[in-house]
Amino acid sequence: MTHPAIEVPTLIAHRGYSAAAPENTLTAVRAAHQAGARWVELDVQLLGDGMPVIWHDSDVSRCSDGRGELASMTWRQAQALDVGSWFGDRFAGERMANLEAMLALLNELEMGVNLEIKVNKGRDPITLVDAVLPMLLAALPAERCIVSSFDGAALAHSRRHAPREALALGALYGSLPKQWRAQCAAIEAFSIHPHWPRLKRTQAAAMRRDGYQILCYTANDPSAFQSRWAWGINSAITDEPAAFQRYLDNRKEG
């Protein structure tokens, strides 16, 4: 069996175009699209009432005008939050996006998504995957979606939802563990998502030999990252897709 026919882009906009708009919002995804990005990376987790939302942190204090843990919040309470003003006055009134609205926007824009199953401390990966995967698989074609996570249980359960030809899985790593090969083989991974400054050239070569796509996070200095392309990196996940693209275009012209 093969993986979905995914054409991984050179650049993936991290949490949408998060250098230009509030992260993980509908506005950030629209901004990424306007900047020419074909794929975005987004985080999904559950509110206390079971609603899947696009959000990174376990609480709302950093990216909203409120306080509180997602685990104790209802959708109605979450919708009362302003999740844009912290980033800039012109984003005042932005609301938290649920997964359904985000998937609808991705379809409208014909964009791909690297959706991270965000398992924050104390949260249940199985419940999260069971809420997210049926919606995702019903909404997006397999060639426009990668599901990634740092959480091994989330990835294993995701694979139980769909075979490799119907769902691409990506293993996220800070530092690459010795057992990465066994972990990736067990979930029939499509891609490996390493923290780019910690990735060694020999590790990248091994990943390539084993047939994995390599999506590095979070690369915001295109000149510092430049040498990594020769290692066979497929994609850089970046807060700055437009600036990164300008740098790559200038290198080609030069």
Rounded to whole angstroms, how far apart are CA atoms 10 and 129?
27
Rounded to whole angstroms, how far apart are CA atoms 144 and 140?
7
pLDDT reported for residue 115: 99
pLDDT surpassing 80 at residue 45: yes
For the entire predicted model, the pTM comes to: 0.98
Q: Report the share of the chain in percent with pLDDT over 70.
A: 100
Render pLDDT for 76-93 as a digit per residue (tens, 0 to 9): 999 999 999 999 999 999
Please name the residues in contact with 239: beta carbons below 8 A apart, sequence gap of 6 or more.
13, 14, 15, 17, 18, 19, 218, 220
Question: Hey, is 32 helix, strand or coil?
Answer: helix
pLDDT level of residue 1 (50, 70, 90 thresholds): confident
Q: Which two tokens stand for residue 243?
A: 């600036």
Render pLDDT for 158-195 as a digit per residue (tens, 0 to 9): 999 999 999 999 999 999 999 999 999 999 999 999 99
The type of residue at 110 is: E
